[in-house]
Structure 1
């Protein structure tokens, strides 16, 4: 069963690679090689990552752990229009509302169950509880979240249609970036005390 899940994840990644090449700049070579590197010296190691080999650990007090493979850490992905991640959620673990400005996300549940949601540009909320083997798509740039509301851990494999999709955390961006208080009070129609309370967790 484990091998079947791994094979399915590989198929999802390959399908995404074929379908979403337009997300990243087109390469004019078979694959990226950093300046100064002799292509003749490369081996299969250049195309191999072992980041997911030992799974994902969650370090307390966090309830979520993430391992990413993007062009930042795995150079060969540069320009290929694909990257991936593995995420583990303990019970109550949440990946708060965020966006990926440069890539669509395809999520495959490897174990457990996960509640997800996304909001489209008409402000409509789509939610779903996913179980082992289920796949959910978060279109590029749309706000979305995941939360484990079950009593046991959940683990997912994620593929992106960009070699570096980026992540914009909505809470951190709004309340941890230094946006002036008067902008928040006007935008949310609240007083300074409410804004200070929202900013407090991100200003430590």
Structure 2
């Protein structure tokens, strides 16, 4: 016979496993998710990237997202894109995507890329035109164009209709975490913490 405590612990464990198994995009029971209106092929067409053709290259790093927020037809399909534009010397700061892995394809230019695993090992690479690099789900990663003259352009595919992006600098230094906690965490003086916070607000 099991005690009430053992049964409770077993149920908590089972529900925890079920929650983890459903942590990504949920499976849908239809071909696709559609609004309660008549749709045609236009619903499955996204034209928001036309601005890239003949457009002016940005002066700072810019990501054009194509997630379920911009393209509702992606709902339930577990895919999304982002076009990443890197002027010379620009960086996509360290960040994570909590829900999917990211597969990056470099269309032109060069990029320094890398991620850090949970053993604190840095995996870094210099990508050339036509190269691909995968960033595993939920791990801290970055991309940097260190070319002083040429821009770089990449496309990233995600295994979620809503990848989510959490910027590490912004999440740590621009969210009102008590400065004493940041001092202790980074072994830095409060003046240093405030300088970083001010720099991120600029």
Q: Does the alignment reach a TM-score above 0.5?
A: yes
Corresponding pairs, count: 178
Q: Match of 2:175?
A: 177
Q: How does 1:41-190 map to 2 (within 5 A)?
A: 41-55=38-52, 57-60=56-59, 63-150=60-147, 151-190=149-188
Distance of 1:22 and 1:193 partners within structure 2: 40
Distance of 2:158 and 2:141 partners within structure 1: 14
Residues 78-114 of structure 1 deviation map (CA, whole Å, 9 limit, x = unaligned)? 1111100111101101001000001100000011111
Unpaired segments of 5 or more residues in structure 2? 1-21
Q: Is the 8 A contact 1:57 1:65 kept in 2?
A: no
Query: What is the aligned-residue RMSD (CA, Å)?
Result: 1.6
What TM-score do you get using the length of structure 2 for normalisation? 0.84
* Bigger Rg over Cα: 2
Q: How does 1:27-46 map to 2 (within 5 A)?
A: 27-34=28-35, 37-38=36-37, 41-46=38-43
Distance of 1:87 and 1:161 partners within structure 2: 17
Which 4+ residue blocks in structure 1 deviate beyond 6 angstroms? none
Q: How far 1:59 sits from its partner (Å)?
A: 3.8
Distance of 2:127 and 2:49 partners within structure 1: 22
1:195 aligns with 2:193: yes
Unpaired segments of 5 or more residues in structure 1? 1-20
Q: How far 1:57 sits from its partner (Å)?
A: 4.8
Distance of 2:201 and 2:107 partners within structure 1: 35
Distance of 1:118 and 1:50 partners within structure 2: 32
What TM-score do you get using the length of structure 1 for normalisation? 0.83
